[in-house]
Structure 1
Amino acid sequence: MNPTDPTDLGPTDVDPQDLDPVDLDPGLRAAIAAVAGLDRLLVASDFDGVLAPLVDDPSTSRAIPGTLEALDALSQLPGTTCAVVSGRDLETLLALTGLDGHERIAAVGSHGAQSTTDDTSTQALTPEQADQLAVLDAELSEVLARHPGVRIEHKPAGVVLHTRGLDPTVAEEATAEALVVGAEQRPAKVLRGKDVVEMSVVDANKGTALLELAAARGSQATVYLGDDVTDEQAFERLGPHDLTIKVGPGPTAARFRVTDATEVLEVLEQLLSARGGH
């Protein structure tokens, strides 16, 4: 794979010719124009549900054509830092995005616990953290055994229960049992997202990760797009000078909202056009 081509991942189900024209909210257009003129800007996005449509099988997730290309083009502009921030573990995120070896776009995995911008991906767990992770794994495996079809994802510092695509009753029962496990296994951090319950033995979140990256790069503002409950931690931590965009329905602390990945592409392309003009 060519590291300068983050979308060289084979065929996808979305053809750019099939995407309908998008007319963004005038307020969002104005906000894009405002941040585009800043000297130093951080542009970051969640992956699943934002750059890529949500799918039942997480291993088949792919960004829609144009989204990663727009981020790559933005990353080549002066004073512009770009990042993909995800709950996925870093190795999986790099594989799905094609960003492995890509020097311009940062990849932040495991809700900020791993990043290509520093050495957090190689930090070892303490013996206590490793023991707790083993307990979480064992208890969620029991939930899996009681509810066939539930999937377990293992991460370097956590374990995730997935219920997307299951019968709603089965999904609700498995989710409730997983939340009980999390409550009993403090100080493990529990994150409930769309059809997932994630438990981590390290304290990391997308909001902290974005603030640290923005500070390290001297960014004057951050543009962040997210769709899940875990992205609310970022929306809440970012300030009124930042441009926060919720993708899809649901309560949010974000300043603006778009419908889906098609509109995400329009946001990125408008930002690229406006910032390129400066």
Structure 2
Amino acid sequence: MSDSSPSPSGELATALALGTDARHLLVALDFDGTLAPLVDEPMSARMLPEARDALTRLSSLPDTTVALVSGRTLAHLAEISEREPDSRIHLAGSHGAEFWHPGGADDADADDAGSLRDTLADRAEAIIADTAGAWIERKRFGFALHTRLSDPERAAEAAARIDDLVRAEAPEWRRRTGQDILEFASRHEGKDAAIRRLRELVDADVVLFAGDDVTDEDALASLGAGDIGIRVGGGESVAAYRVADAAELAALLSRLAEARAGR
């Protein structure tokens, strides 16, 4: 199928060639802001149609593995990615603490800190009760404060108070920040560990990873020579390549699918 989008820049053309020629290519991708535009209601996020088509095509090719690697819980990632029972796309949720593999069951350890998580989330909700637009997302291994719709000054005050709470009650928990989000988790896995696990699982010699936020930098920094790291949008990054937005990444993935199919 031909692609009418503009040809990629010289640097991205190099990345495209690396992916095309890989013996076994792992395409691992963040979801929010990378495959789907950021939205005010997180559970309404959906992949761009061109991105979905590209991932479907890539996952059907020989020696090509596709995975979504997200901070979302596995259940939420399955919902927003609209996973079908026969999907060939691997899912890594909770920054790599939960996995689902095609043809298999969910793969995650028990949550030994569930009681503390619920207590802290309850107290965090009390802290933000008067902060308009802020809300707490309860996750399998922790919780997150969302302030996308809040006044910046009030959001900063709420974040500082919740920081103090977790520092006092669960100082060993991992703290992460992102675009209008502050997250805490009892598990310390990062997207770098998720990439390593997926690479070993499928014996990939080349990994393409793309992401748009601070938590994606762990994965981007873990890539080796010959891998392809892509930052979506602005912000500081260790990525060797950059695209403007999810639409440009979708176009690149479409070209990659076409190139690998024709090699």
TM-score, scaled relative to structure 1: 0.87
**Shift of residue 156 of structure 1?**
1.3
Residue in 2 aligned with 1:182?
166
Aligned length in residues: 257
Pairing partner for 1:191 from 176, 181, 185: 176
Cα-Cα RMSD: 1.8
Residue in 1 aligned with 2:198?
213
**Shift of residue 147 of structure 1?**
1.8
Give the 3-state SS of the residue equivalent to 1:48 in structure 2: coil
TM-score, scaled relative to structure 2: 0.92
Give the 3-state SS of the residue equivalent to 2:49 in structure 1: coil
Residue in 2 aligned with 1:24?
8
Instruction: Note the alpha carbon deviations across 1:31-85, whole angstroms, 9 max, x for none.
Output: 2112211111100111100100001111211111110221111011110010111
Instruction: Note the alpha carbon deviations across 1:131-186, whole angstroms, 9 max, x for none.
Output: 43133213312222242321111111111110012222222222222333333321
Residue in 2 aligned with 1:264?
249
Give the 3-state SS of the residue equivalent to 2:201 in structure 1: helix
Residue in 1 aligned with 2:65?
81
- CA distance in structure 2 between the aligned counterparts of 1:204 and 1:142, rounded to whole angstroms: 28
Gapped regions of structure 2 (runs ≥ 5)? none
The 1:43–1:107 alpha-carbon spacing in structure 2 relative to 1, beyond 3 Å, is same
Give the 3-state SS of the residue equivalent to 1:66 in structure 2: helix
Instruction: Note the alpha carbon deviations across 1:75-134, whole angstroms, 9 max, x for none.
Output: 1111001011111111111111111424310111111111102766452222xx234313
Deviates more, 1:136-145 or 1:89-98: 136-145
Identity among equivalent positions (%) equals 36
The answer as to 2:132 corresponding to 1:148 is yes
Q: Contact 2:179/2:213 (CA < 8 Å) preserved in 1?
A: yes
Give the 3-state SS of the residue equivalent to 1:39 in structure 2: coil
- CA distance in structure 2 between the aligned counterparts of 1:88 and 1:102, rounded to whole angstroms: 21
- CA distance in structure 1 between the aligned counterparts of 2:93 and 2:86, rounded to whole angstroms: 15
- CA distance in structure 2 between the aligned counterparts of 1:23 and 1:277, rounded to whole angstroms: 17
Q: Contact 1:182/1:189 (CA < 8 Å) preserved in 2?
A: no
Residue in 2 aligned with 1:134?
118
Give the 3-state SS of the residue equivalent to 1:244 in structure 2: strand
Instruction: Note the alpha carbon deviations across 1:173-225, whole angstroms, 9 max, x for none.
Output: 22222333333321111111111111111121111001111111000010011
- CA distance in structure 1 between the aligned counterparts of 2:177 and 2:214, rounded to whole angstroms: 7
The 1:98–1:120 alpha-carbon spacing in structure 2 relative to 1, beyond 3 Å, is closer
Gapped regions of structure 1 (runs ≥ 5)? 1-19
**Shift of residue 26 of structure 1?**
1.0
The answer as to 2:50 corresponding to 1:50 is no
Q: Contact 2:133/2:148 (CA < 8 Å) preserved in 1?
A: no
Pairing partner for 1:251 from 236, 247, 252: 236
- CA distance in structure 1 between the aligned counterparts of 2:68 and 2:27, rounded to whole angstroms: 9
Letter in 1 for 2:92: V
The answer as to 2:88 corresponding to 1:104 is yes
The answer as to 2:143 corresponding to 1:159 is yes
- CA distance in structure 1 between the aligned counterparts of 2:225 and 2:120, rounded to whole angstroms: 38
Residue in 2 aligned with 1:125?
111
Residue in 2 aligned with 1:173?
157
The 1:21–1:170 alpha-carbon spacing in structure 2 relative to 1, beyond 3 Å, is farther
- CA distance in structure 1 between the aligned counterparts of 2:14 and 2:252, rounded to whole angstroms: 11
- CA distance in structure 2 between the aligned counterparts of 1:177 and 1:237, rounded to whole angstroms: 32
Structure 1 ranges of 4+ moved more than 6 A:
none
Residue in 2 aligned with 1:71?
55
Pairing partner for 2:214 from 229, 237, 241: 229
